Chain A
């Protein structure tokens, strides 16, 4: 997809790098090309795909993955990944829902408790990681399993079934619903509020990455942890902070999940962690860290959303969806690998 951008520039002193070449050197360029290609492809074979309502649906689907992909992308740029991210979303909504229902409190008490819980899970993940120096695969696999079990067990203890009970009669539900699951009318079509939250998160994350000191540290701890430590970067704080960032995104995702459906299925979320990682990887984040962008993760999520819904609009068998996703992932990873080699060897 980006073959043109991968040709070595020759003697760079002779000619200034053209803006086009500069653009092609960005991490998310492969994903942008892929997203455009996919949009055009589905627009041609399924004209209904480009209707405003369909676009709104695609954006909504993308946003639920994309919100998490923001946190996961930053974490991956910081050199780690989080297998517990999928169930952590459900854990957050369960915490909020079960607490508010059991004690019949205002839902906002539950919402805030969910935030504390999600940030806490992120902190524990990060803290264990930096203290034990175990790979994030092991640490977050463990928290993934523990959260999966807790979700099921505690939900059954409290509500007596596999799902939570309806909290829509509790105080504060209306405002919370407006905040996390509202339909926003835009030029005659309704767009879910998660789309705007998603865009806002991407903008904030991009700003943090590129224009703040913390952003510099995130790239550094992912690119070379020892080097970063040697020049005085607070590696431990940065890593724990990144895991807590994933926790924050999980809280937003969890709250949307809760207020959009009123009840939460305790067994959901398993497997979603891979969708977030896939979105980040397709978007140009290196699995090994140190390279990537928040915008890339967002475009990765958009590709996911388009493939997911496009197949439905094209009236294909959805069985094909996973195949496409796998293919996209493979292509994206190969491109990333070439980019990294080029940067390190020249």
Chain B
């Protein structure tokens, strides 16, 4: 079980550093320096630099095909980077499998959730890390009890952990997956588009759990294409486009409007403003879009 340090009380503004250490001198939980990856002659990712620290949320933003998936696959051990360095707690690593990543304390919650729909919730919760008793058999009562308790701690009150996980709603499944990672002592949690398929209310629930995981001392990597989901929970923002970083900011260094503007891309926004002008009216909206085009550091 992870210790529940409460780093939200620290009001230390950590600037974006290019070393693999924080200002305090401790190594970053995860630090990427100029990481790149190519598949054959296709360059999927190049020169990515980002940090993940305990009790902080690093958001990775980008449109479809921006390289977000490749990035998390490297961190989660599904792929290996072939340029730059990837260090965990200051130590250079190349993860060879998801198991390897888990052993290093990195757990990933995927878009498709990595749950087996027909299996009971408790079996899914412990899948791959089953509890066994002295005889080497599954300790079913303990697993059921822990599953129920852990979900309760996450604020999900399930009557029956024996029901197939496929019967839960999308948000609930996300939360089971997050609770699972937290329980198994993950130090870093990768969340791949957890809000992509969810409605407004469900998304809010998941964002709440992201903060709860952060407050329990986890370093969270939150992948999304929605700046409105990223901004309220994020401490750092890495923006990707076409496999390259187009900006890496502390929260203090960027506003929601700027983030949205960078996400959408200046040129496309100009085009949109132009189109609105042509159909006439909506002056206020055009001003808003024009304002968003002014992006810092790009």
Contacts and interface: CB of A to CB of B under 8 A. Distances in A.
B17 interface: no
A213 B102 CA distance: 18
Nearest to B133: A211
A17 interface: yes
Interface of B: 78, 98-99, 102, 108, 110, 112-119, 123, 126-130, 132, 136-138, 140, 159-160, 163-164, 166-167
7 contacts: A219-B119, A227-B112, A227-B114, A228-B127, A231-B98, A232-B128, A340-B118
B247 to A, nearest CB: 30
Interface in A269-302: 286, 290-291
A132 interface: no
Given A231-B98, A232-B128, A344-B118, A216 B167 contact: no
A213 B130 CA distance: 6
Nearest to B102: A232
Contact of B166 (A17, A211, A229, A344): A344
Contacts of A345: 166
Interface of A: 12-13, 17, 210-213, 215-216, 219-220, 223-224, 226-233, 286, 290-291, 340, 343-346
Contact of B114 (A213, A216, A226, A286): A226
Nearest to B136: A212
B137 A212 contact: yes
A223 B119 contact: yes
B118 A290 contact: yes
B118 A223 contact: yes
Closest 8 CB pairs of A and B: A223-B116, A232-B128, A231-B128, A230-B114, A227-B114, A343-B164, A344-B166, A232-B99
Q: Point out which of B129, B160, B166 has the most chain A C-beta atoms below 10 A from its C-beta.
A: B166
A229 B219 CA distance: 23
A297 to B, nearest CB: 17
Given A230-B110, A343-B166, A17 B160 contact: yes
Given A212-B138, A219-B123, A344-B118, 13 more contacts: A12-B163, A210-B138, A211-B140, A212-B136, A216-B123, A227-B114, A227-B116, A232-B99, A290-B116, A290-B117, A291-B118, A340-B118, A343-B117
